[in-house]
Amino acid sequence: MTPPTGTLTLAGKAVSRLGFGTMRLTDPGTWGETEDRDTALSILRQAVHTYGIPHSDTADAYGPHTVEHLIKDALPPYPADVLIATKVGMVRPAPGQWMPLGNPFYLRASVEASLRRLRVDHLDLCHLHRIDPDVAFEDQLAVLEALQEEGKIRHIGLSKVTPENVLRATTYLAVSAVQNVLHAEDPADPVIETCHDLGIPYVAYRPLDAGRLASPHGPTTALRWLLDRGRHTVPIPNTSRPSHLAEIVAAVQGERD
């Protein structure tokens, strides 16, 4: 299937410049199981097989654990071009609550658990979900780098970071992707320029501002605005509805680079 946009290299794979965010494949509050498991499985398969979007973005905190289990049930045997990006370093005390936890022992345990849930022998791309301010940044990076050296992580990314965070991290290891909020109503993220200068793909999460930019004229303008920000930019819109996924893909058709 021809991807709906041009391609770029992300974590060593040629992927569509449109990714698929999986955060909404849970109950409200990003907590618990989805009420319509069959639809969740179907939309994961449609993204890859129907629309040519090989990059699915998830996290162990979604559910927690719910979406990684869904991906394991929907996509194996994983096609060679599929890129599953997950995130570790966030704990969920309750629905709607998120807390960073960068203890190196916890990060290692989280990676091992994601490997089991996804039923893979390595994570294609593992983001540090948040930098824990109570743990030395270098210690959080060091355990991810150690896991990379052990072959359990192929590529390392960062999420919700500043330019200073990115530059600091690159003095310790290769940063393969950065994931931050960016959309037309919140357009001032200097990290996009830092990533451009360093040749790092920039993954824009919440590109439709939790649906607020999806109406009344659909997501076309918002997604094209993001794609026009640079060839290194990858929006990952979220949805739990097949009809909305079709609208998203239609919005970027013809935007091939």
pLDDT digits (tens, 9 = 90+) for 224-249: 889 999 999 999 999 999 999 998 99
Residue 223 lies in a domain: yes
Residue 148 lies in a domain: yes
**Domains held by the chain: number:** 1
pLDDT given at position 22? 97
**CA 187 – CA 119 distance, rounded (Å):** 37
Residue 28 lies in a domain: yes
| Contact residues for 153 (Cβ-Cβ < 8 A; gap 6+) | 111, 122, 123, 126, 144, 147
Q: What percent of the chain shows pLDDT beyond 70? A: 93
What global pTM score does this model have? 0.94
pLDDT given at position 2? 65
Strand partners, 86: 126
Q: Which domain holds residue 114?
A: 7-252
**CA 179 – CA 57 distance, rounded (Å):** 10
Q: What is the mean pLDDT of residues 59-78?
A: 97
**Region class of 191: left (phi > 0), else alpha (psi between -120 and 50), else beta:** alpha
pLDDT digits (tens, 9 = 90+) for 121-164: 999 999 999 999 999 999 999 999 999 999 999 999 999 999 99
pLDDT digits (tens, 9 = 90+) for 71-117: 999 999 999 999 999 999 999 999 999 999 999 999 999 999 999 99
Residue 257 lies in a domain: no
Residues 118, 86 contacting (CB under 8 angstroms): yes
CATH for 217 = 3.20.20.100
| Contact residues for 78 (Cβ-Cβ < 8 A; gap 6+) | 84, 120
pLDDT given at position 216? 54
**From 62, 78, 202, 205, the catalytic residue:** 62
Nearest to 99, CA basis, from 134, 142, 147, 57: 134
Catalytic annotation on 62? yes
Cα-Cα-Cα-Cα torsion 232, 56, 215, 241, nearest 10 degrees, comes to 170
Residue 161 lies in a domain: yes
Residue 1 lies in a domain: no
Residue 48 lies in a domain: yes
